Structure 1
Amino acid sequence: MFFSRYTPEILLRTGEHLMLVAIAMGIAITIGIPLGILITRQPKLAQPILALANAIQTIPSLAIFGFLISLPFIGGIGKIPAIVALTLYALLPLIRNTYIGIKSVDPAIREAGKAMGMTDWQLLFQVEIPLALGVILAGVRVATVISVGIATIAAAIGGGGLGVFIFRGLSTVNNSLILAGAVPAAFIALAADLSLGWLEKSLTRQTEKRVKGNPKFAIYLGILTFFLVGFFALAFRQTPPTIIIGSKNFTEQFILGELLAQQIESHTGLKVDRRLNLGGTFICHEAVKAGKIAGYVEYTGTAFTAVLKQKPISDPSSVYEQVKQQYNDQFNLEVMPPLGFNNTYAMIIRGEDAKRLQIRTLSEAAKYTPQWTGGFGYEFLERDDGYPGLAKTYGLKLAKIEQMELGLIYQALKEKQVNIVAGNSTDGLITVLKLVILEDDKQYFPPYEAVPIFNQAILNQYPDLRTAINQLAGLISTEDIQKMNYEVDNQSRPVEEVVRQFLESKH
């Protein structure tokens, strides 16, 4: 049943994954191998170039992706920054192995070539590269496997690929979705390693003989590589979309992003490209501000406190009006009417703990927190409306705090690795896992009404967008979003199907 639902998307994501890796490796080979050759001729450059490549390799991949978002031309979200990041990570093994392979050639062989009157160019292509080819191809193998693995993280900035399944599976505690991304990625990595290993052994045995018979063999090999990369790019290319819709990286956001996409497609005739697994608030905010996406759904309390840096207030209408005005004045973004539900932060514990300790409010839970471990997302720990203010309001003193991706918090709570987490009041897994939301009895959290936020320049370019999105105002009740979250999280129904059924029911 699962594979019948997801096979088309698995094939699509596998194609995207192959495209990312193929293009990135093509670019990396074009840059890395010539750089490796260069530093064999200019030894003074060897240390700084290798040090730089090594430094890039040590930077966490998510940090690279995050840094690239703000850069012009090669930055933003989507496949281009993903390819740039993969190229950077592939450079070190390519440069290093090319350098080591050529430097390891027996000096006596070089001297013999020079004695025969060979130029440095002839010596490089007819002697050194053939003898170093095995080591160079070993670098290509390592770089390819690294790229296949890191390409899964590209989904965090809308790059697509098999990481979409992995992130979606983590956020819904759905092992089938995780495996749908992890297994094909592992297969691609193994297939690449085995095939390149075979090529390495085959060419190592035959290259020297072929090169002597055909000095242009290396050039032909480069041309073949170029055409293979071009084939992958052509085979899996996507038609440039007209409108790009984004979302954050948890179930409800996938649903809301798909809701915007289907509404736009059915009411405007525009094609929509879905980037439904971007990182957190700030990635989405920077993307819509720069026009990298047309719009996404934000929460008023998040916009008010995290983006605008205002102190939390409890009046929903006041928060909405201030967000609408300041987003227009500061960012040229239009805040649409609320969708109809308020998804506030929720401090959540296991049902069995609530029953055993007889607690139902945050005030009652405060005396137990010195023995508890908390599991919180990165944003919650930093935001003005997050943990620091909550701890001060209720006197919470947790024994330990684990920082983790939002998609992992419920799994950690279920496995008793943490005692309390910060989730969302509309999360479908709360009911599924028999969890309890602690009452915010001091009304610390501000309102979090869901509101579509769009780039004004794109709205002006496509006026029908505003009409289509405004039709969603007040359409979704708290019960509606809880039900949709439940169907995706617990029943493993595809997001597209759940949203389509909801829109049909509202007609």
Structure 2
Amino acid sequence: MNLLLSIPPTSVILLRTGEHITLVLIAMIVATGMGIPLGIIMSRYPKLANPILLVTNAVQTIPSLALFGFLITVPFLGGIGKRPAIIALILYALLPIIKNTYIGITQIRKGVKEAGKSLGLTPLKILFLIELPLALKVILGGVRIAAVICVGIATIAAAIGGGGLGVFIFRGLSTVDNTMILAGAIPSAIIALLVDWGLGWLENNLTQTDTKKKKNKQKVFIFLFAFVSLIFIVFSLINKPQKQIVIGSKNFTEQIILGEMIAQQIENNSNLTVDRRFNLGGTFICHEAVKAQEIDGYVEYTGTAFTAILERKPVSNPNLVYGEIKEVYNEEFKLEVMPSLGFENTYAILIRGEDAKQYNIETISDVAQYTPEWTAGFSYEFLAREDGYSGLSKTYDLQFAQQPKTMELGLMYRALAEKNVDLVAGNSTDGLISVLDLYMLKDNKNYFPPYEAVPVFNQETLKEHPNLSPIIQQLSGQISSQEMQQLNYLVDHERQSVNKVVEDFLNEKNLT
């Protein structure tokens, strides 16, 4: 296998790098504009220092992924995309800027300030002519720390459709592709190093003695000019005309393939353009996003909608499940549930192929006698869902040696193959099942409901673009379970690009 196949094109890497820089630049400009004045206010009113530092310290303790997820549901400021990502970065950047500004000003000797007063300087002039110049090195140190923090945290923005280099990292995690992960991690690290060096150089040049300042003044202005020029270049790359249709997806290979398939189908059969917001996380993020028209549509699974969104007890009748979600989605959520794409992706309880042969295991019932000595690995969503672990363990009387480990879907397969866990809950159409020689146990008690793949779209979008629904419904019944597994295999194992795999499939089906 040629690992070069999994390296994204240079143009895509540059685009994501531009997005990443833009997120950080906007966040830093706003955070600096807020942080320095707050630090000055704290130095003037010491009673405010503890409350402000308490709040900013508290923000720093919140895990970044949790903060990004929380912002999805916040009105006006939240949602998905770049806006909530920038707000999260601003919140993380504030503490070092505020704290360093406060410390820099308060550490100036009182005698220096008194000298300014004796010369008849007003408090404002003392601030700008004495305090800020003397505290500049410390303040710039805070800005430098904040910028490096932002570069790292900005990779999480991809989880809520904010773009940036995190797109490659999340994509690599979902496909267990180290090359893809490095495609995001290495440029991010380079940006962080350049930001640290650049701001350090600026800090040194702006805080030198008057003689040296004169010698380096021209260099500083050149640096600032180049920096501002970079901002305009980045904005020209990123601020393209807004796309008309936004297609989302969850954060695993099959969802990205299906999202790309919907996107190409729209672009091939209409004059509409598509903005792709893939790797958005789990079911609830996509559901809230399509309800709020942050995205216009995505592909859902009927059993997931029935049990996770509608919170119904699992049932095995596919027509009943489809009819129920179509009716409730239409009336309660103002969403249109379209006909199935033709395949079902049910939960797959997986063990290693060698264990299946050694213990002669074929069904989930067969495995129950071995689980007291085994360790399980499940996704966060599977542990929380109505049709997930709690119901499965009761139905089949599964008792494990310890609490199941929680991990991302792509990592679970690798953990199972490498004997870090002994049983996982995956997806029946995943390409890694055959690649890693995993064995799918039969659901002999029919515990899992049907999981037919169905496009879900906001009704307002369909009203605005009446030709959209028939275009998407051309995909109905076109994908079998075997074909979906093959598509996943081509991306996960053969490392082919999602764009090419989807384009070839649509050509084969004469849908272009």
Counterpart check, 1:147 vs 2:150: yes
Pairwise CA distance, 1:228: 6.2
CA distance in 2, matches of 1:106, 1:261: 63
Is contact 1:168–1:178 with CA below 8 Å preserved after alignment? yes
The 5 A counterparts of 1:339-488 are 339-400=341-402, 401-488=404-491
Is contact 1:101–1:135 with CA below 8 Å preserved after alignment? yes
CA distance in 1, matches of 2:264, 2:137: 51
With the length of structure 2 as denominator, give the TM-score of the two structures.
0.94
Is contact 1:257–1:296 with CA below 8 Å preserved after alignment? yes
Is contact 1:130–1:207 with CA below 8 Å preserved after alignment? no
CA distance in 1, matches of 2:226, 2:439: 60
Is contact 1:295–1:455 with CA below 8 Å preserved after alignment? yes
CA distance in 2, matches of 1:472, 1:100: 62
Q: Give, as a single letter, the amino acid of the residue that structure 2 aligns with 1:371.
A: E
CA distance in 2, matches of 1:205, 1:388: 65
Is contact 2:205–2:213 with CA below 8 Å preserved after alignment? no
SS of residue matched to 1:436: strand
Counterpart check, 1:247 vs 2:249: yes
CA distance in 2, matches of 1:60, 1:24: 18
The 5 A counterparts of 1:94-173 are 94-173=97-176
The list of structure 1 runs, each at least 4 consecutive aligned residues, that deviate by more than 4 angstroms after superposition, is 206-211, 221-231
- Select 1:32's aligned residue among 35, 39, 42: 35
For the structure 1 residues 124 and 234, does the alpha-carbon distance in structure 2 shift closer, same or farther, using more than 3 Å as the test?
farther
The 5 A counterparts of 1:249-268 are 249-268=251-270
CA distance in 1, matches of 2:9, 2:419: 31
Q: Give, as a single letter, the amino acid of the residue that structure 1 aligns with 2:304.
A: T
Q: Give, as a single letter, the amino acid of the residue that structure 1 aligns with 2:341.
A: L
SS of residue matched to 1:64: helix
Q: Give, as a single letter, the amino acid of the residue that structure 2 aligns with 1:112.
A: A
- Select 2:286's aligned residue among 277, 281, 284: 284
CA distance in 1, matches of 2:233, 2:118: 43
Deviations 1:395-441 (A, max 9, x none): 01112211112232112222322111111000000011111111111
CA distance in 2, matches of 1:207, 1:247: 56
Give 2:323's aligned residue.
321
Structure 1 residues not aligned, in runs of 5+: none
For the structure 1 residues 98 and 228, does the alpha-carbon distance in structure 2 shift closer, same or farther, using more than 3 Å as the test?
farther
Give the stretch that moved more between structures: 81-90 or 106-115.
106-115
Q: Give, as a single letter, the amino acid of the residue that structure 1 aligns with 2:108.
A: V
SS of residue matched to 2:208: helix
Give 2:193's aligned residue.
190
Q: Give, as a single letter, the amino acid of the residue that structure 2 aligns with 1:279.
A: G
Give 2:302's aligned residue.
300
The 5 A counterparts of 1:327-338 are 327-338=329-340
Q: Give, as a single letter, the amino acid of the residue that structure 2 aligns with 1:59.
A: I
Pairwise CA distance, 1:21: 0.7
For the structure 1 residues 3 and 358, does the alpha-carbon distance in structure 2 shift closer, same or farther, using more than 3 Å as the test?
closer
CA distance in 2, matches of 1:195, 1:382: 46
The 5 A counterparts of 1:263-274 are 263-274=265-276
Q: Give, as a single letter, the amino acid of the residue that structure 2 aligns with 1:358.
A: N
SS of residue matched to 2:345: coil
CA distance in 2, matches of 1:104, 1:233: 39
Give 2:66's aligned residue.
63
Q: Give, as a single letter, the amino acid of the residue that structure 1 aligns with 2:83.
A: I
Is contact 1:53–1:91 with CA below 8 Å preserved after alignment? yes
Structure 2 residues not aligned, in runs of 5+: none
RMSD: 2.1
Paired positions, count? 502
Give the stretch that moved more between structures: 395-404 or 287-296.
395-404
For the structure 1 residues 373 and 274, does the alpha-carbon distance in structure 2 shift closer, same or farther, using more than 3 Å as the test?
same
CA distance in 2, matches of 1:229, 1:111: 41
CA distance in 1, matches of 2:14, 2:114: 53
CA distance in 2, matches of 1:282, 1:478: 24
CA distance in 2, matches of 1:209, 1:115: 29
Give the stretch that moved more between structures: 109-118 or 419-428.
109-118
Give 2:81's aligned residue.
78
Identity of aligned residues (%): 61
CA distance in 1, matches of 2:137, 2:236: 30
